[in-house]
Amino acid sequence: MAKGMICALINCAHDDDQVWRAMIDKIIMARETLGRDCTILMDLAGQKIRTKMMPDGDYRFKLKAIHSSDTVEPALVLFTSTAASAAAGNLAWLSIPATVHSRLQLGDRMVFDDARGKRRHFDVVSRRVEGDWLSACGQNAVIDADTVIEFQRRDEHAHFANCAGSR
């Protein structure tokens, strides 16, 4: 603040309410000590979906997008609200909470760090007759039971933003 900071942003995707409270207290103390204004903003974490344990001891999906000279055949994932997760060929099924499944729309994005720590995303491309959502990933990815997937939707400026709401 002494060098001109007028806004403090607390990233709520990390830490917990006790750590955030300590940060806020320090900012308030600095404001009072320096006699300067400083707005406190809290960046709320978006939707996070944990994949469920996969049956029969198969705890890892390897999704492979097929790249040729000028085209990409994406890996396909079907997001379902039933309690099944499996893979067959280039199609995998991932179970997600019904509250999230019911909110999905065409064009939504599911962002995640795969089991190797690589940032990847699925784009929701169609809705199947049975109501499940087909999505495509243009890069190879490894998904396991610890993978956390963030649900994003385009805002009015066509940028993706995390969707707040039910977990």
Is residue 19 located within the same domain as residue 52? no
More confident residue, 156 or 97: 97
Is residue 62 located within the same domain as residue 144? yes
pLDDT of residue 50: 54
Is residue 32 located within the same domain as residue 102? no
Does residue 98 fall inside a structural domain? yes
Least confident of 12-21, 31-40, 46-55, 146-155: 46-55
Does residue 81 fall inside a structural domain? yes
Q: What is the pLDDT of residues 46-67, one digit of tens each?
A: 655 554 444 444 557 788 888 8
Is residue 33 located within the same domain as residue 98? no
Residue 146 has pLDDT above 90, yes or no: no
Is residue 156 located within the same domain as residue 86? yes
Give buried/exposed letters for 66-98 (b at 16+ CB in 10 A, else e).
Answer: eeeeeeeebbbbbbbbeeebebeeeebbbbbee
Is residue 25 located within the same domain as residue 57? no
Q: What is the pLDDT of residues 67-114, one digit of tens each?
A: 888 888 888 888 888 766 555 555 778 888 888 888 888 888 888 899
Does residue 1 fall inside a structural domain? no
* N-to-C CA span, the chain: 36
pLDDT of residue 89: 54
Task: Answer yes or no: are the C-beta atoms of 107 and 135 closer than 8 Å.
Answer: no
Is residue 107 located within the same domain as residue 157? yes
Structure-derived torsion over alpha carbons of residues 46, 52, 58, 63, reported in degrees to the nearest 10: -30
| Structural domain harbouring 24 | 7-43
Domain at 71, CATH number = 2.40.33.10
DSSP state for residue 76 in the 8-state scheme: E
Cα 145 to Cα 156: distance, rounded to the nearest angstrom: 33
- Total of domains in the chain: 2
Residue 163 has pLDDT above 70, yes or no: no
Is residue 29 located within the same domain as residue 106? no
